[in-house]
Chains A and B, each alone.
Chain A
Amino acid sequence: MEIRENIFQALQALKAHKLRSFLTTLGIVIGVTTVITMLSLIQGMNRSVQGQIRSLGSNTFYIQKFPAIRMGRLGEKYRKRKDLTIEDAQAIARLCPAVKKASAYAQEFPVRAKYKGEKTPYISLIGGTPEFLELHQYSLERGRSLTPLDVQHRRAVVVLGADITEDLFPHLDPIGQQVLIKGHRFTVVGTLEPKGNFLGESMDDFVITPITTLMKFYGKRRRSVTIVVEPVSVEATQLAIDQATQVLRRRRGVPYDQPNDFEIMTLDMLMDVYKKLTGSVFGAMVGIAGISLLVGGIGIMNIMLVSVTERTREIGIRKAIGAKRSDILYQFLIEAVTLSGLGGILGIGLGVGIGELVGAISPLPATIPIWSIILGFTFSAAVGIFFGIYPASKAAKLNPIAALRYE
């Protein structure tokens, strides 16, 4: 019997019990919806993170005292580490031919900036160098950026992120005004263009002052800086990492047989960590979806068994007029697959819809990969085959005489 005829008959049979068919397939719908929604959100987030990282210049790397992502408390070997200093950054810039720029920065967090009656929420005060803003692709809106002289003379000047300008100076030109941050007065010399949101986090809620000023006001002790390094070219990235490593090991007196006592992170590594993180979230969701598909599959098996019993007479008639076992087997198998496949299509539609909706009303972007749609459909069809085979073979094995006599 042709497949088209089979599908036509399956749809007829499902149409006869619309509500029942819908309820049966709900488990599949929920499972597929979960997978598609999660996939589209995670994929969208990955895209956006990748875009952001690319905009940072994917070859810059960071040197820190501690790993950026760590689980639990830091061990002994980490706590004994020496702090990284501004001088380390300067040495890297001076001694490594493969390094174009090296810039140190530190952070004071949380702080609130005040101007007259106005107050910002908690923000971070970054102590940086003129290169910091360039390396992170911020552009100036008004006034001037930090200068080497600001750093050298430890001037109490700040450049405001766009959120801060908005909060403190909604109607006023901030240039030349004095803001109060954690007990010290700073003169505003410039403001930045807004950069927008990244994963729901504003990238404009900070102020930046020279790193030397930060250390003067808030202390140098127990403050390790982060060093941002930009290699001369993308190809020179590994070379720059090697040279910077050598310089730091020598300056910190690390014996040749000991591992590094600092951490180097490229953006690719960050990306990997990020992907691992979203990967495990996705894994958990797939687990939940798997259970949902399993339950859905059992539901399909159950309803197909009911259907086989209800239609015993029909099976008898079909066998009497010449249906082979395989004809009956395919008929019920295709009915089960049609049921689960329709559930899959419904789930794909819902998942895409929810993904788009979340993308529209929240900062999370959604991207629906085509392969996820194919995957969702294939999986739901496979569930239909797996859980449909038992009821179908039961139908195929019915004795025609007994089936014809069935009331």
Chain B
Amino acid sequence: MLIELKKVEKVYKVGAVEVPALRGIDLKIEANEYLAIMGPSGSGKSTLMNILGCLDTPTKGSYIFAGREVANLTDDELAQIRNRKIGFVFQTFNLLPRATALHNVELPLIYSGVPASERVRRAAEALESVGLGDRLNHRPNELSGGQRQRVALARALVNRPSIILADEPTGNLDSKTGAEIMELFKKLHQEGNTIVLVTHEEYIAQYSQRRLKLLDGRVQDDIHLEESR
């Protein structure tokens, strides 16, 4: 079992008011699953994503990631898990604007202390695997949206994470480019990666094997499909 959530609750404090975002989530994710988290805005999918990604910790309940209880970890330990075990892909790409594609992909390796020469080799490999072998020294503003998202994917992959978390990865792309990115995710899944995708678009969710629907901070539906498209 890669991920296990038991009765996870998250409450945000806005001034004196407590706003519940998650109201008891139970969820298990196995290695090499392809899961889409769906739900209307305000349903808690972003909060769940942040907790799964170790950017945030639950207010109540237990989150076991690869056998470790995340709720008890320090900031630095969480940073280390994000660095080695989790690859993020964001809707707005979140690349460093002044850095080249290569340097953006190198960044996780810098934080895990990989020596410079190996770093460059691995980052270049990761960029090649997403089809950007000829764009290593381009800056984000010299790349198209699809290419930027591929750089972000390469960055997510470069440290060989246990899980890839993607938050609306096609939200800022046209449908053709979006489909290309989804094909890339599919390929990664077939290569054995675990993928969790947050989306509110049905046709994107159709790529997945399993759909988790949230409403008002609770699991409304958890559908396992035999075949992904």
Residues of A in contact with B (beta carbons under 8 Å apart): 1-2, 5, 12-13, 16, 313-314, 316-327, 400-401, 404
28 residue pairs of the A-B complex, CB under 8 angstroms, read A1-B111, A2-B116, A5-B110, A5-B116, A13-B98, A16-B98, A314-B96, A316-B94, A317-B96, A319-B82, A320-B88, A321-B82, A321-B83, A321-B108, A322-B80, A322-B84, A323-B79, A323-B83, A324-B76, A324-B111, A325-B76, A325-B79, A401-B50, A401-B55, A401-B56, A404-B55, A404-B90, A404-B94
Contact B111 A323 (CB under 8 A): yes
B217 sits at the interface (CB 8 A): no
1/0 contact string of B80-107 vs chain A (CB within 8 Å): 1011100010100011101100000001
Identify B75's interface contact among A313, A314, A325, CB under 8 A: A325
Contact A322 B75 (CB under 8 A): no
Contact B79 A322 (CB under 8 A): yes
Contact B98 A322 (CB under 8 A): no
Q: Is the interface of A mostly helix, strand, loop or mixed?
A: helix
Chain B residues with CB under 8 Å of A12's CB are: 98-99
Chain A residues with CB under 8 Å of B98's CB are: 12-13, 16
Identify A324's interface contact among B55, B56, B75, CB under 8 A: B75
How far, in angstroms, from A319 to B110 measured CA to CA in the complex?
12
B210 sits at the interface (CB 8 A): no
B112 sits at the interface (CB 8 A): yes
B45 sits at the interface (CB 8 A): no
Chain B contributes a number of interface residues (CB within 8 A of A) equal to: 27
B155 sits at the interface (CB 8 A): yes
B58 sits at the interface (CB 8 A): no
B53 sits at the interface (CB 8 A): yes
Q: How far is the CB of A71 from chain B (nearest CB, A)?
A: 61
Chain A residues with CB under 8 Å of B95's CB are: 317
Chain A residues with CB under 8 Å of B108's CB are: 321-322
Contact A321 B111 (CB under 8 A): yes
* Residue from B53, B110, B112, B116 whose CB has the most chain A CB atoms within 10 Å: B110
Chain B residues with CB under 8 Å of A1's CB are: 110-111, 113
How far, in angstroms, from A319 to B90 measured CA to CA in the complex?
14
Q: How far is the CB of A281 from chain B (nearest CB, A)?
A: 47
How far, in angstroms, from A12 to B100 measured CA to CA in the complex?
12
Chain A residues with CB under 8 Å of B110's CB are: 1-2, 5
* Residue from A2, A324, A326, A327 whose CB has the most chain B CB atoms within 10 Å: A324
Q: How far is the CB of A22 from chain B (nearest CB, A)?
A: 18
* Residue from B50, B84, B94, B159 whose CB has the most chain A CB atoms within 10 Å: B94
Chain B residues with CB under 8 Å of A400's CB are: 55
Identify B107's interface contact among A13, A316, A318, CB under 8 A: A318
How far, in angstroms, from A319 to B80 measured CA to CA in the complex?
10
With A1-B110, A327-B111 as known contacts, state yes or no: A319 contacts B94, CB within 8 Å.
no
How far, in angstroms, from A325 to B74 measured CA to CA in the complex?
11
Q: How far is the CB of A322 from chain B (nearest CB, A)?
A: 2
Chain A residues with CB under 8 Å of B112's CB are: 322
Q: How far is the CB of B139 from chain A (nearest CB, A)?
A: 11
Identify A322's interface contact among B82, B94, B116, CB under 8 A: B82
Question: Who on chain B is nearest to A15 by CB?
Answer: B98
